[in-house]
Amino acid sequence: MDLPNYTVLIQLLNFLVLIFLMNMIVYRPVRKMLTRRREIMDGSAKIARELTQKADAASEELDSNISETRKEGQQEKEKIKTVGLGAEQEMLKEVHSSTEDMLSTAREDIGEKLISVRHSLQSELKGFSKELAGKILGRQV
């Protein structure tokens, strides 16, 4: 057993070659793939943050536009209401005026008819009073 034991050296050399080959074949490609994946994920996260910021800004702008539009709508509603009230007042004045005219005309007509009825009654009153006096007295007057 004088022979030196080279098997340990061969095993050590075999181990180093195996590590070198594993590094070349497996570890480097996996590390490259992981690095690429990390870069892609970082880029996607950055894009997602930018899009989120843009969406938030657009949402705020939309909210302010909605608020402004509501204010304008309320102002327009008040204008329309004011115009409507003015038109209503004008219509009421016209109706009141026309009603007053019609009432005045009706009063004049009634007054004229009353006068004519009084005249006719006064002319008939003499005949009625003679008749009545004749019936009361029992003779013609």
CB 134 within 8 A of CB 140: yes
- Single pTM value for the model: 0.45
pLDDT tens digits along 105-127: 988 888 888 888 888 878 777 77
Which pLDDT score is estimated for 3?
56
Split at pLDDT 50, 70, 90, the class of 1 is: very low
Percent of the chain with pLDDT over 90: 51
State the average pLDDT over residues 67-71: 94
**Residue 138 φ/ψ region, left for φ over 0, alpha for ψ in the -120 to 50 degree band, beta for the rest:** left
Amino acid at 109: D
Q: What is the mean pLDDT of residues 30-36?
A: 94
Provide mean pLDDT across the span 44-65. 94
User: Pseudo-torsion of CA 43, 49, 54, 59, nearest 10°?
Assistant: 150
pLDDT at residue 4 in the model: 65
Q: How far is CA 7 from CA 4, 76, 89, in A?
A: 9, 99, 118
